[in-house]
Structure 1
Amino acid sequence: MSLSIKSIKSLAPLLDRVLVQRAKVVEKTASGLYLPSAASQSPPPEGTVLAVGPGAPGKDGKVVPVSVKEGDRVVLPGFGGVPVKVGEEEYHIFRDAEIIAKISE
């Protein structure tokens, strides 16, 4: 099941949720070789953060901020997240705790 909306700008994550656009599947190598379709079916484990929520309340009631910010490149799990379709593009909403790592340049 996926949610379909008209504009990605109208979507604001709540609490500790993070809106991510997964990296595109590479179908051709840098040297020009085409990869077989079986190799390109699984989504890459990388994405870019587009929007973050304000954070979720901790055990003491204070808001714990999200650990990533807009523009960060992150490593994602191969499963999970809520898919959101905008036109032909697909995005995912993950909990902050589901994001595996942040990629620093």
Structure 2
Amino acid sequence: MNSDNDNDGNGEDEQTVFIIIGRVNHEMGGDMAEIHVLLTAPDEDTAVRLCLDALSAKGFAEADLDQIGVMGGMPDEEPHASAYQGALEGEVAIVNFDTGMGGR
């Protein structure tokens, strides 16, 4: 008797949280800062498109995306744990490892 109402946490339950690793810059040709972007998407192509849209909206002029993967669950440590939770809530979470890009 497990039917439609009983698929909380089963089947198509879990959202796929992608992590995209790359580098960004607010000005073309300047020093690049490492970023990790966590977001949910139905596939890799959509994830990359959403990532680039979010980076552009945050004022980044240049982005080099190096790797994409699927998160295997909630990370144990910050800042990735908060970013993962944000991604589950529909955000495109950007973890910026910059050393001098200001408060963007």
TM-score, structure 2 as length reference: 0.26
Q: Which one has the bigger helix percentage?
A: 2
TM-score, structure 1 as length reference: 0.26
Q: Which one has the bigger strand percentage?
A: 1
